[in-house]
A and B are shown apart, each in its own frame.
Chain A
Amino acid sequence: NAGVTQTPKFQVLKTGQSMTLQCAQDMNHNSMYWYRQDPGMGLRLIYYSASEGTTDKGEVPNGYNVSRLNKREFSLRLESAAPSQTSVYFCASSDRAGRTNEKLFFGSGTQLSVL
């Protein structure tokens, strides 16, 4: 049972390069999320998709774009990477049943370094 799968696990970029982080879930969840985790800052929401075909900004969306390709897949793109985007990125999905129930299940994370 794979759950939430993220690729790649590690990535090193130079400033200005672009890349896409991939995420797929096999739990038939409607909602998917991208978080970043930085030391001393905790987990912060970048973008989310409440359902196939919709995306919305979270707390820290600047410098990122997302695509909800289908119900299973939700990708995060960095168009022009900056050192401030060095972080660990987590994809998550939810069997959301209204706002009162949003148990999140996380992928294994992507450690990104921008030099």
Chain B
Amino acid sequence: QKEVEQNSGPLSVPEGAIASLNCTYSDRGSQSFFWYRQYSGKSPELIMFIYSNGDKEDGRFTAQLNKASQYVSLLIRDSQPSDSATYLCAVNLIEGADGLTFGKGTHLIIQP
């Protein structure tokens, strides 16, 4: 069964610290991996994508991919209260329908 798994949280992190969000996926052939941020009552917003093993940095965000372990993570440095949201991991699974398969999301709370 095609799956994308995330810890639902809530994950509570002090302001200024590093928030680490994790995701595992079941389809070893998956090629594309995405992180979306969703504020309460709003639509998902793409913040990072990664295709190759290793790290990809964009401002305070770093996406990490390990295809051998079927694991992708998102690090948020210098966490701000405005980073409080639900973070959705999404994977372009090779088998099945087009589109992305989403995890259920991790609720992140940044404590001032």
Q: Which residues of A contact B (CB under 8 A)?
A: 31, 33, 35, 40-45, 48, 50, 56-59, 90, 92, 94, 96, 99-109
Contacts and interface: CB of A to CB of B under 8 A. Distances in A.
B98 A56 contact: yes
A105 B46 contact: yes
Given A90-B43, A90-B44, A107-B43, A48 B99 contact: yes
A57 B88 CA distance: 22
Q: By DSSP majority rule, is chain B's interface helix, strand, loop, or mixed?
A: loop
Contacts of B90: 104
Q: Which of A44, A57, A92, A104 has the most CB of B within 10 A?
A: A104
Interface of B: 31-32, 34, 42-46, 49, 51, 88, 90, 92, 94, 97-105
Nearest to B43: A106
Contact of B99 (A42, A102, A105, A109): A102
B88 A43 contact: yes
A14 to B, nearest CB: 25
A103 B49 contact: yes
A102 B44 contact: no
Contacts of B105: 42
A100 B88 contact: no
